[in-house]
């Protein structure tokens, strides 16, 4: 790797960690102008930065405000780099439907997970928040997505997941369903028939990062 490339990747990474949108934009523009591989800039720069942010969040050095600002910085870079990404051979692509269940308007965790799937090159169908049950089922059928991700922030809203999971599985048993959000647990995921679970926003992010990594590994 050239020194210049390494320098720009580091600037992207650090810019995300420092939630410095301007620094990220500047480095991303330099990547494009100087003909450096945009794909590497995303994965070895921006995503590496977000990996570190995930660690800082887990250690409670960063909290949600910091993480949201880091995500803004990542998106600022991604907007510039994305049009220049050349898809590598055999790249894994998938489609995912995601949303926050009806009755719940808290979408911060979901948005952070969405960001990672965006970065990974998934075809993301984001239904937003306060999403009626049937909408998940319809959207899954319409898009034939491999994955459905359900999020809930409150004990009083997560209960709706059970019926959504059953309905989707009934229409399309092959579809994989992952659930996440503060009150959800591995145990509940099992009980409700979900295929995967993320313990909290932090683990949702980690899982998403792992998926991104797994994708990269498959591509290499």
Partner 1 sequence: MNSRQLVLDQLNGKDVERPACYSGMGNVTTAGLEQFGYKFSKVHTDAKMMADTAASSYKLFGYECAIVPYDLCLEAEAIGCVMNPYEEVDQLLYPTIKEKVCHSEEEMTTFPIPDDVEKRGRVPLVCEAIKLLKADIGNEVAIGTYVLGPFTLAGQLMDLNDLFKLAFKKPKLVNEMLDRVSDVTIKIAKELVAAGADYINVREMGATTDVLSPKVFRNVIQPHLIKVREALKDVPLVIHICGGTNKIMDILNECKYNAISVETKNDLAASREMIGNEPLIFGNIDAFNVLVNGSPEDVEKATLAALEGSCDSVWPSCDIWPTAPIENLKAMVETVKNQGAAKWVRKNK
Binding site for partner 1 (CB under 8 A): 60, 63-66, 68-69, 72, 102-108, 111, 130, 132-133, 154-160, 163, 182-183, 185, 187-188, 191, 200-201
Instruction: Please give the Cα distance from 32 to 81 (Å, whole number).
Output: 7
Distance of CA 210 to the CA centre of its chain: 10
Output 10 or 200, the one with its CB closest to partner 1.
200
Taking the least distance from each CB to partner 1, the nearer of 87 and 155 is 155
Strands 123-126 and 147-151, by their bridges, are unpaired
Distance of closest approach, residue 33 Cβ to partner 1, in angstroms = 30
β-partners of residue 131 are 101
Residue with tokens 């570190």: 52
| Nearest distance, CB of residue 101 and partner 1, angstroms | 9
Rounded to the nearest 10 degrees, how much is the dihedral formed by the CA atoms of 119, 209, 174, 137? -60
Q: Environment class of residue 83 by beta-carbon count within 10 Å: exposed (0-12), middle (13-18) or buried (19+)? A: exposed
- Residue 130 DSSP one-character state: S
Cα 100 to the chain's mean position, in Å? 14
Q: Provide the greatest CA pair distance for the chain.
A: 54
> Closer to partner 1 at the Cβ: 89 or 187?
187
Smaller CB separation from partner 1, 204 or 215: 204
Nearer to partner 1, 170 or 217 (CB): 170
- Residues near 120 by beta carbon (within 8 Å), at least 6 away in sequence: 208, 211, 212, 215
Nearer to partner 1, 70 or 147 (CB): 70
Q: Which two tokens stand for residue 41?
A: 């800039």
């Amino acid at each position: 790797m050239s020194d210049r490339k390494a320098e720009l990747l580091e600037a992207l990474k650090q810019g995300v960690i420092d939630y410095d949108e301007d620094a990220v934009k500047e480095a991303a523009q330099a990547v494009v102008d100087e003909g450096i591989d945009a794909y590497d800039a995303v994965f070895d720069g921006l995503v590496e930065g977000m990996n570190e942010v995930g660690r800082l969040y887990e250690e409670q050095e960063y909290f949600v405000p910091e993480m949201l600002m880091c995500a803004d910085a990542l998106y600022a870079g991604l907007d510039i780099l994305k049009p220049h990404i050349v898809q590598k051979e055999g790249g894994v692509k998938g489609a995912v439907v995601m949303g926050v269940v009806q009755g719940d308007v808290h979408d911060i965790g979901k948005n952070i997970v969405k960001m990672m799937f965006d970065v990974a090159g998934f075809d993301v169908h984001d239904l937003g928040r306060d999403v009626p049950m049937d909408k998940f089922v319809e959207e899954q059928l319409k898009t034939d997505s491999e994955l459905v991700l359900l999020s809930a922030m409150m004990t009083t809203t997560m209960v709706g997941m059970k019926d959504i999971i059953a309905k989707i599985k009934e229409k399309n048993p092959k579809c994989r369903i992952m659930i996440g959000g503060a009150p959800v647990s591995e145990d509940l995921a099992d009980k409700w028939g979900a295929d995967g679970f993320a313990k909290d926003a932090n683990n949702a992010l980690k899982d998403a990062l792992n998926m991104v990594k797994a994708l990269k590994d498959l591509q290499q």
